[in-house]
């Protein structure tokens, strides 16, 4: 080894040591720690958590996927699990406790300090899909009669415990929500002024605990809020939903819509166990077989026609695909519309009319294109016309069905996306095959 | 009219008046004002805006849809348009100016005050899909050597102009980002302490101006931030992306993925002009016809087989639908995976392997089910076996294609969702028809 090489090796080595030292001093963000933990085998996860300070363990675990949280808590000793849950914000702790099986849940809860246990038990009573189920109970509550300076002093005392106190809420004597002040308002107000004077009642936006969480996400997005207060039947303040939770809700809902549409589970991801996906998708695949059987039965009605004119079987996939695709375009736009805006019945049905116009024009253009192509290839004018008529008609049915299915599902109280693509295909296939084979029977074979 | 009726009518009337009075005193939230404006005819929109104070007009217009903003600005007089843009936050103003045609853009810009014009012109140079294109330049910048009290005083002076100063950023002598303090940190720190001591460098998360806005949204979500600083090549602070913009980005990206998948435009909604949708969807429908022609050509190869056994045409839709549906399940999960997590090549290809296992098991179960049904209905054992083999094989191809298409599109630098469903159908149709008709030819007709 030359001296120069040795020298450069030494340099490299010092760099490595320096890096290791600096990284050990640097504090890891809980979200990154969570990713690190998720990458470990379960025994190593437990070891890693044991050597962390309880506070850091709580913060990191709160950022983990719920499936990984569950696996970890099934393997931690119950005393440590209880200590960690006590240090989490109650809503995060509740999300974890909720997934444990009843026996383990009871065992761990019994080891949690009474105050924290009471809080978690209360939160467990809310439906996880509602505002109550996603709210955070660590809220700064102030009396309207405080001065700005008193309010700041109170916040300084409390802030250690509270997650994101960018707003403080004012309540009246009976605990009912009376107004909101932002930290920013407090910071820039004249000293001595009373909170009462800062209240802007007109902008007091809140939801009841049983409001759908998707609606909560829409409100926070609509009004650009950082947090939205949640109240009970008597408008008493229960907690707040914060914007970071809303980001998770929006992602979840988008995945749910896209995956439910084709019969995959809303909460599947590339991280879910593959057996979970098998179990969730299989029932919809069975329903899809049954639905396809309807389309097959339509074709069966015309087996004689096909035996005489096998070219019809060649054209069948084109009709089915085109109508299916136009329908899916309408379906996608409608599902996203329902996901991003508050539902207005009239506006939604106007959107169906809009799709009808789109389907008419696109159907006409594609039909003419296909008519010309079929004629060019077969030189059979009647066949070309029959094909293009069936295609155009089915594309129209496609957009109508695509736009209506989510609305009908919504009207009957179901998830507007659920299996919508499967139902759509059944309709477009059956109508398409019936039109093509029926028209062919009448005009080509004179049946 | 009886006295009682009169009395109740009077009551109703007083209620109406009281309501009208209280609603006229109540300040409308800009987001609601925006909805109100969007519901008016364009002439009434202009009238309504003219009678509003400039500040209210600016706030309300900033909340409108970009299409409605464009229409409004094409109809406002240029002087008023310029005054309104000056009062908006520069990023919102830039978003509007960006959509105007070059001539109108120039005319309105020339009427805007030089400082504001310079700011908007600079923002116009960033790609709207990057951090620079969505950032807000109204940032509170503090010198590291200020004390907490000096910092609060400075914020009090500046806060009127700044949109959401929940964080203040610290820069060094050359304007390079050195740290961040939250308003909360300032509020709860001891007086006299210097900002330098509050900096937590290890948690300093920032992006370069040319980072994709989807990546920005992922970072803000991952670290639960309220704002993310944007810097230039030399780490000089340019602006921040705030969490409310991120909510819009996440919604946009979800719509884009779902709609692009089936060949609708990413920015379509039930509010877009229907002619816009016709224009955007038609090219993909044409591509879909061409793709379907591939499947049709496969069937054409076996026209003779079908003429002899028309039952094969009955079974074709079942194979195509099942494989298409399994593929779409894999596709949906993969697209959402790419939308919510940062891309890791290895993990993504492992996800394809995961889908393979799901496809194998579901394919096997559905094949057996279909084999039994076909046998029960036809009493033809070879036909049943041929059908179930083709079906199972095609379902496997479906999940493989569904999971791989987004990854392949991503690897070649395209949008992972774009027309993915259309390509998938081409593959599952062609493979399915080829397997079914090919196997039938060999084993049933001995070709």
Query: Can you give the pLDDT at residue A12?
Result: 52
A352 shares contact with chain B (CB less than 8 Å): no
Query: Can you give the pLDDT at residue A187?
Result: 74
A77 in the same domain as A221: no
A140 shares contact with chain B (CB less than 8 Å): no
Higher pLDDT, B404 or A197: B404
Q: Which residue has the tokens 């991503």?
A: B410
* Residues A302/A438, Cβ–Cβ less than 8 Å: yes
Query: Can you give the pLDDT at residue A432?
Result: 96
DSSP per residue over B407-445, as a string?
HHHHHTTS-TTTTHHHHHHHHHHHHHHHHHHHHHHHHTS
Query: What is the spatial distance between Cα A100 and Cα A91, in angstroms, rounded to a whole number?
Result: 15
DSSP per residue over B100-120, as a string?
S-HHHHHHHHHTS-HHHHHHH
Query: Can you give the pLDDT at residue A315?
Result: 95
* Beta pairing class for B227-231 and A167-171: unpaired
A314 in the same domain as A190: no
Q: Looking at chain A from residue 54 to 83, which residues have their Cβ under 8 Å from any Cβ of chain B?
A: none
pLDDT band at B11 (very low <50, low <70, confident <90, very high): low
A257 shares contact with chain B (CB less than 8 Å): yes
Whole-number percent of chain B with pLDDT over 70: 91
* Closest by Cβ to A258, choosing from B258, B274, B292: B258
**pLDDT, mean of residues B394-400:** 97
A431 in the same domain as A355: yes
* Closest by Cβ to A313, choosing from B299, B325, B326: B299
* Beta pairing class for A227-231 and A237-242: antiparallel
Q: Which of A98, A125, A152 is the last residue of a domain?
A: A125
A223 shares contact with chain B (CB less than 8 Å): yes
* Closest by Cβ to B258, choosing from A335, A350, A370: A335
**Minimal Cα–Cα distance from A132 to chain B, Å?**
20
* Closest by Cβ to A187, choosing from B31, B156, B262: B156
A349 shares contact with chain B (CB less than 8 Å): no
Domain harbouring A358, CATH code: 1.10.357.20
Query: Can you give the pLDDT at residue B153?
Result: 80
Higher pLDDT, B341 or B260: B260
**pLDDT, mean of residues B379-398:** 96
Domain harbouring A232, CATH code: 3.10.580.10
Q: Which of B125, B159, B175 is the last residue of a domain?
A: B125
* Closest by Cβ to B310, choosing from A282, A307, A425: A307
Is residue B174 classed as helix, strand or coil in its secondary structure?
coil
B278 shares contact with chain A (CB less than 8 Å): yes
Query: Can you give the pLDDT at residue A17?
Result: 42
Q: How many domains does chain A have?
A: 3
A365 in the same domain as A283: yes
Least confident of A121-135, A356-370, B65-79, B148-162: B148-162
Q: Which of A62, A97, A125 is the last residue of a domain?
A: A125
Query: Can you give the pLDDT at residue B26?
Result: 52
N residues, chain A:
447
Given an 8 Å threshold on Cβ–Cβ distance, is B188 in contact with A334? Answer: no
Q: Looking at chain A from residue 168 to 187, which residues have their Cβ under 8 Å from any Cβ of chain B?
A: 183-184, 186-187
A29 shares contact with chain B (CB less than 8 Å): yes
B366 in the same domain as B282: yes
A251 shares contact with chain B (CB less than 8 Å): yes
What CA–CA distances, in Å, run from A357 to A361, B93, B250, B316, B412?
Answer: 6, 34, 29, 31, 36
* A264 assigned to some structural domain: no
pLDDT band at B348 (very low <50, low <70, confident <90, very high): confident
Q: Which residue of A has its CA nearest to B205?
A: A29
* A152 assigned to some structural domain: yes
A103 in the same domain as A54: yes
Query: What is the spatial distance between Cα A126 and Cα A110, in angstroms, rounded to a whole number?
Result: 20
A288 shares contact with chain B (CB less than 8 Å): yes
**pLDDT, mean of residues B169-176:** 85
For residue A376, the surrounding DSSP H or E stretch is helix A345-378
Query: Can you give the pLDDT at residue B244?
Result: 86
Q: Looking at chain B from residue 379 to 408, which residues have their Cβ under 8 Å from any Cβ of chain A?
A: none
ipTM: 0.83
B407 in the same domain as B309: yes
Q: Which residue of B has its CA nearest to A160?
A: B188
pLDDT in tens, B250-291: 999 999 999 999 999 988 888 889 999 999 999 999 999 999
pTM of structure = 0.84
**pLDDT, mean of residues B23-51:** 83
* A366 assigned to some structural domain: yes
Query: Can you give the pLDDT at residue A190?
Result: 73
Query: What is the spatial distance between Cα A259 and Cα B333, in angstroms, rounded to a whole number?
Result: 6
Given an 8 Å threshold on Cβ–Cβ distance, is B333 in contact with A226? Answer: no
Query: Can you give the pLDDT at residue B3?
Result: 46
Query: Can you give the pLDDT at residue B16?
Result: 46
Query: What is the spatial distance between Cα A182 and Cα A176, in angstroms, rounded to a whole number?
Result: 18
> Does the pLDDT of residue B357 top 90, yes or no?
yes
**pLDDT, mean of residues B336-345:** 84
**Minimal Cα–Cα distance from A51 to chain B, Å?**
21
B288 shares contact with chain A (CB less than 8 Å): yes
* B14 assigned to some structural domain: no
* Closest by Cβ to B369, choosing from A289, A339, A429: A289
A364 shares contact with chain B (CB less than 8 Å): no
Whole-number percent of chain B with pLDDT over 90: 64
Domain harbouring A65, CATH code: 1.25.60.10
- Mutate which of A30, A150, A223, A277 to test chain B, going by most B C-beta atoms within 10 A? A277
B87 in the same domain as B44: yes
CA atoms within 13 Å, Cβ hemisphere of B343:
16
* A347 assigned to some structural domain: yes
In the predicted model, residues of chain A with pLDDT beneath 70 are 1-27, 159-165, 200-203, 447
Least confident of B93-107, B139-153, B214-228: B139-153
pLDDT in tens, A236-257: 999 999 898 899 999 999 999 9
* B119 assigned to some structural domain: yes
Given an 8 Å threshold on Cβ–Cβ distance, is A318 in contact with B257? Answer: no
* Closest by Cβ to A27, choosing from B152, B202, B223: B202
* Closest by Cβ to A281, choosing from B155, B159, B358: B358
What CA–CA distances, in Å, run from B36 to A292, A407, B29, B214?
Answer: 46, 24, 11, 30
B416 in the same domain as B322: yes
Residues of chain B contacting residue A307, judged by C-beta atoms under 8 Å apart: 307, 310
Is residue A439 classed as helix, strand or coil in its secondary structure?
helix
A307 in the same domain as A431: yes
Count of CB pairs separated by less than 8 Å, A with B: 330
* A179 assigned to some structural domain: yes
Q: What is the average pLDDT value for chain B, to the nearest integer?
A: 87
Residues of chain B contacting residue A186, judged by C-beta atoms under 8 Å apart: 187
A150 shares contact with chain B (CB less than 8 Å): no
Given an 8 Å threshold on Cβ–Cβ distance, is B306 in contact with A321? Answer: no
* A133 assigned to some structural domain: no
Q: Which residue of A has its CA nearest to B293?
A: A318
Q: Which residue has the tokens 């192509």?
A: A373
> Does the pLDDT of residue B428 top 80, yes or no?
yes
Query: Can you give the pLDDT at residue B163?
Result: 55
B361 shares contact with chain A (CB less than 8 Å): yes
* Residues A407/A416, Cβ–Cβ less than 8 Å: yes
A152 in the same domain as A97: no
Query: Can you give the pLDDT at residue B154?
Result: 82
Given an 8 Å threshold on Cβ–Cβ distance, is A223 in contact with B258? Answer: no
Query: Can you give the pLDDT at residue B14?
Result: 46
B237 in the same domain as B326: no
* Closest by Cβ to A264, choosing from B255, B316, B333: B333
* Closest by Cβ to A429, choosing from B200, B299, B321: B321
Domain range spanning residue B364?
274-443
Query: Can you give the pLDDT at residue B369?
Result: 96
Query: Can you give the pLDDT at residue B362?
Result: 96
**Minimal Cα–Cα distance from A310 to chain B, Å?**
5
């Amino acid at each position: 080894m030359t001296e120069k090489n040795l020298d450069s090796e030494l340099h490299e080595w010092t760099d490595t040591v320096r890096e290791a030292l600096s990284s050990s001093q640097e504090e890891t963000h809980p979200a990154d720690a969570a990713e690190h933990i998720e990458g470990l085998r379960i025994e190593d996860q437990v070891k890693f958590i044991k050597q962390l300070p309880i506070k850091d363990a709580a913060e990191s675990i709160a950022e983990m996927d719920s499936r990984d949280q569950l696996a970890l808590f099934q393997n931690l000793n119950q005393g440590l699990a209880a200590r960690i849950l006590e240090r989490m914000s109650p809503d995060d702790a509740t999300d974890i406790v909720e997934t444990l099986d009843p026996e383990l849940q009871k065992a761990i809860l019994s080891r949690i300090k009474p105050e924290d246990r009471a809080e978690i038990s209360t939160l467990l009573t809310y439906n996880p899909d509602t505002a109550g189920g996603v709210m955070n109970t660590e809220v700064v509550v102030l009396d309207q009669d405080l001065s700005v300076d008193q309010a700041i002093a109170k916040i300084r005392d409390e802030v250690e415990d509270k997650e994101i106190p960018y707003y403080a809420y004012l309540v009246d004597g009976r605990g009912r929500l009376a107004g909101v002040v932002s930290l920013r308002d407090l910071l820039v107000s004249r000293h001595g002024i009373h909170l009462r004077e800062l209240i802007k009642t007109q902008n007091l936006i809140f939801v009841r605990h049983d409001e759908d969480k998707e609606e909560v996400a829409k409100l926070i997005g609509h009004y650009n809020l950082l947090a939205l207060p949640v109240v009970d039947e008597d408008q008493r303040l229960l907690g707040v939903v914060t914007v970071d939770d809303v980001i998770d809700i929006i992602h979840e809902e988008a995945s749910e819509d896209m995956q439910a549409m084709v019969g995959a589970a809303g909460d599947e991801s590339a991280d879910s166990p593959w057996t979970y996906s098998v179990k969730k998708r299989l029932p919809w695949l069975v329903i899809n077989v049954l639905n396809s059987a309807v389309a097959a039965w339509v074709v069966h009605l015309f087996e004689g026609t096909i035996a005489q004119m096998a070219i019809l079987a060649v054209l069948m996939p084109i009709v089915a695909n085109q109508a299916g695709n136009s329908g899916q375009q309408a379906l996608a736009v409608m599902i996203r519309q329902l996901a991003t805006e508050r539902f207005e019945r009239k506006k939604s049905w106007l959107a169906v009319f809009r799709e009808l116009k789109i389907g008419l024009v696109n159907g006409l253009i594609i039909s003419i294109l296909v008519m010309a192509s079929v004629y060019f290839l077969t030189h059979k004018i009647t066949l070309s016309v029959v094909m293009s008529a069936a295609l155009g008609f089915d594309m129209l049915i496609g957009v109508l069905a695509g736009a209506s299915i989510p609305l009908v599902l919504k009207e009957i109280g179901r998830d507007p996306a659920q299996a919508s693509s499967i139902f759509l295909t059944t309709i477009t296939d059956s109508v398409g095959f019936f039109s093509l084979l029926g028209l062919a029977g009448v005009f080509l074979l004179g049946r």
